[in-house]
A and B are shown apart, each in its own frame.
Chain A
C-alpha cells in the first residue's frame, strides 16, 4: 500500500511539474508575441501589413517603412528631444537625490524624520493631483511648450531620495568620522568619501529614470503644443493620427525605433533594473 501511495504522489508531482512548464511557456509566448508581431509587421510591405496569418519570421524584410517614418514625421527631432529631456532629468536627479538621500541618512538636523516621512507620503500623491498647479507654475516661469517644462519639475524625486538614503544608511559611519578628524568639511566628507562609493545606487536610479522618462506620455501631452517640441511617445501617437497617408507598418517601425534605447540599456544593465524595483520594497 505505501508503495502505491508514493507512486501516485510521484505521478501527480510529475504531472504538476510538466503543467508548470506549459503554463510558463504559454505566458512567455503571451509576453513576447506582441513585441515580435510589432517587429515583424514593421518589416512588411505596406500592402501586406494587415494580412493574416502574420509572417512571424520576416524572410523578405522590407526596411522602407523605417525610411517612411522619417519622411512622415520629424522623428529625428522627437528622438533628440527625448534624449535631451531624459538625460537632463537623469543627471539632475542623480545630483539632487544623492544630496537629499545623504542628508536624510547621515546628517542630524531638527525634524529630520518628520520631513522624511513627508517625502515618502508624496510618493502616494498621483501626478494628476499636482499637474494643474505644476502646469501653472511652469507657465509663470515662462517655460510653456518647452522642453524645460518637462525637465525642471522633474529634478527632485521622493523615490530617488528614498533609494539613495537606503544605500547611504548601509555605509559605515566610521569612514566619515575618520575623515572629519583629518579635517574634512561636511561637503568633503560627502563628495570625497561617500559619494564615490555610491556607484551601484547611482546606476540603479539613473537606469530606472531613463526608462521611466523616456516612455513618459502624460506630461508631454499636457505641456507641449508645438510639434517640433514633441518627445517620442507623443510624436508616435501623432504618427498614428496621420495614418491616412501611411500604413500600420510605418507606425510600428516608429514604435520599434522608440524602443531600441530602452532595450539596449536593459541588455547591458539588467541587474540594476531588478535592484531598482526590489529596492523599493522596504526590505
Chain B
C-alpha cells in the first residue's frame, strides 16, 4: 500500500519539479513545469473539458439514479423490481473499453443505430462523434449510461432504509407523493446522496477510456480530458516531469471540489 500509493504521491510531487525522460538523469527545473502549464493551451483546455464533463456526468448520474430508484421502489411486484434492478446494473458489468467500442459504432454518423432512429422519427442525423459539441455530449451520455447503475443501487438501498412509520405518518397528514419525496425521503437519504456525489465526481474527473477509444480526444480538443493530456505528455512524449505536474493539478482539483462538496453538505446533509 505504502509503496504503491503513499510514496508515489510524494514521488509525483517531487518529479513535477524535474525534467525527465526516464532514460537520462532527471534535471531539476524548479517550478518550470507549472509555469509552462499556465501557458499551454492544450492543458488549459483539458481542465475546462474535464470539469464540464465531470459536472455533466455527475448531475445526470445523480438525478437519473435517484429518479429511477424512487420509481423502482414504488413497484409492488418483486419480479418487476428484480428485473429493473438487473437491467440498470448490467451496463456496469461491461468494461469501459468494450462499451466504448460498441457505443462508437452505435453513434456512427452514417451507419449508426442512433441516427437511424432519429431519421425514423423525422429528425436529422446528428454528427455525434465528428463535431466538437456532439463528441462531448456522446462521451457524457456513454459514461452516464454505464455508471448510472452505481448511484441507482446506492439510492435503492438508502430508500429502503427510510422508516415506514415516517412515510405512513406523512401520508395520514395528507402529504402528496412529490412533497414526500422532496421533504422527507431526500433529506433522510442525504448522506447517501453526498457519498454518491463525491465518488461519482472523483471517477468522472478521471474519464479516460471512453474519449481515448471513441474520439482520441477529438475532434480538435473537444474531448481531450486532463487524463488524456497527461497520458500523452508522459507516456507518448516521454516528459515524465511535465506529466507529473499535470497529475498533481488534477489531484488538487479533485481535492478542492471534494472539499467544497463536504463544506456545502453542512447546509443540506441531514444526519439522524
Chain B residue nearest to A28 in the complex (CB): B87
Q: Once the chains are docked, how many angstroms separate the CA of A43 from the CA of B127?
A: 27
Contact (A28, B102) CB under 8 Å given A122-B5, A158-B1: no
Q: Please indicate the chain B residues that have their CB under 8 angstroms from the CB of A216 in the complex.
A: 95
Q: Please indicate the chain A residues that have their CB under 8 angstroms from the CB of B87 in the complex.
A: 27-28, 31-32
Does B59 sit within 8 A of A, measured CB to CB?
A: no
Task: List which A2-44 residues lie within 8 A (CB) of chain B.
Answer: 13, 16-17, 20, 23-24, 27-28, 30-32, 34-35, 37-38, 41
Chain B 201-225 per-residue mask, 1 if CB under 8 angstroms from chain A, else 0: 0100110110011000000000000
Q: Once the chains are docked, how many angstroms separate the CA of A128 from the CA of B94?
A: 22
Chain B residue nearest to A279 in the complex (CB): B157
Does B109 sit within 8 A of A, measured CB to CB?
A: no
Is A128 in contact with B15, judged by CB distance below 8 angstroms?
A: no
Is A16 in contact with B177, judged by CB distance below 8 angstroms?
A: yes
A127 CB, min distance to chain B CBs, angstroms: 7
The listed residue (A53, A132, A156, A263) touching B4 by CB distance below 8 A is A156
Is A129 in contact with B22, judged by CB distance below 8 angstroms?
A: no
Does A172 sit within 8 A of B, measured CB to CB?
A: no
Contact (A125, B250) CB under 8 Å given A34-B106, A277-B153: no
Most buried by B among A50, A130, A135, A255: A130
Q: Please indicate the chain A residues that have their CB under 8 angstroms from the CB of B92 in the complex.
A: 211
Does A85 sit within 8 A of B, measured CB to CB?
A: no
Q: Please indicate the chain B residues that have their CB under 8 angstroms from the CB of A248 in the complex.
A: 105
The listed residue (A132, A157, A255) touching B15 by CB distance below 8 A is A132
Is B101 in contact with A125, judged by CB distance below 8 angstroms?
A: no
Q: Please indicate the chain B residues that have their CB under 8 angstroms from the CB of A263 in the complex.
A: 90, 93
Does B199 sit within 8 A of A, measured CB to CB?
A: yes
The listed residue (B9, B116, B199) touching A130 by CB distance below 8 A is B9
Q: Please indicate the chain A residues that have their CB under 8 angstroms from the CB of B67 in the complex.
A: 23
Is B244 in contact with A132, judged by CB distance below 8 angstroms?
A: yes
Is A126 in contact with B116, judged by CB distance below 8 angstroms?
A: no
Is B206 in contact with A23, judged by CB distance below 8 angstroms?
A: no
Is B150 in contact with A217, judged by CB distance below 8 angstroms?
A: no
- What total of A-B pairs shows CB separation below 8 Å? 211
Chain A residue nearest to B198 in the complex (CB): A124
Does A84 sit within 8 A of B, measured CB to CB?
A: no
Q: Please indicate the chain A residues that have their CB under 8 angstroms from the CB of B145 in the complex.
A: 30-31, 34
Does A188 sit within 8 A of B, measured CB to CB?
A: no
Does B89 sit within 8 A of A, measured CB to CB?
A: yes
A247 CB, min distance to chain B CBs, angstroms: 11
Q: Please indicate the chain B residues that have their CB under 8 angstroms from the CB of A27 in the complex.
A: 64, 68, 84, 87-88
Contact (A129, B1) CB under 8 Å given A34-B102, A35-B90: no
Chain B residue nearest to A233 in the complex (CB): B97
Chain A residue nearest to B213 in the complex (CB): A237
The listed residue (A16, A35, A135) touching B94 by CB distance below 8 A is A35
Is A139 in contact with B22, judged by CB distance below 8 angstroms?
A: yes
Does A134 sit within 8 A of B, measured CB to CB?
A: yes
Is B154 in contact with A281, judged by CB distance below 8 angstroms?
A: yes
Q: Once the chains are docked, how many angstroms separate the CA of A248 from the CA of B158?
A: 41
Does B12 sit within 8 A of A, measured CB to CB?
A: yes
B119 CB, min distance to chain A CBs, angstroms: 9
Does B7 sit within 8 A of A, measured CB to CB?
A: yes
Contact (A24, B68) CB under 8 Å given A122-B1, A125-B5, A217-B95: yes
Does B130 sit within 8 A of A, measured CB to CB?
A: no
Is B154 in contact with A38, judged by CB distance below 8 angstroms?
A: no
Beyond A31-B145, A135-B235: 5 further Cβ-contacts under 8 Å? A24-B71, A35-B90, A129-B248, A157-B1, A236-B97
B residues apposed to A, CB below 8 Å: 1, 3-9, 11-12, 15, 22, 64, 67-68, 71-72, 74-75, 83-84, 86-99, 101-106, 111, 113, 116, 145, 149-150, 153-154, 157-158, 161, 177, 191-192, 195-196, 199, 202, 205-206, 208-209, 212-213, 226-227, 230-231, 234-235, 240, 243-244, 247-248, 250-251, 254-255, 258
- A-B pairs with lowest CB-CB distance, top 10: A215-B95, A233-B97, A130-B8, A133-B8, A156-B1, A133-B11, A52-B116, A28-B87, A153-B4, A262-B93
Q: List 26 A-B contacts (CB under 8 A).
A: A20-B74, A32-B87, A34-B145, A35-B91, A52-B111, A52-B113, A118-B6, A122-B1, A122-B6, A124-B255, A126-B251, A129-B8, A132-B11, A132-B15, A135-B235, A216-B95, A217-B95, A218-B208, A221-B212, A237-B101, A251-B101, A262-B93, A274-B153, A277-B153, A277-B154, A278-B153
A residues apposed to B, CB below 8 Å: 13, 16-17, 20, 23-24, 27-28, 30-32, 34-35, 37-38, 41, 50, 52-54, 96, 100, 118-119, 122, 124-137, 139, 152-154, 156-158, 161, 211, 214-218, 221-222, 232-234, 236-237, 240, 248, 251-252, 255, 258-259, 262-263, 266, 270, 273-274, 277-278, 280-283
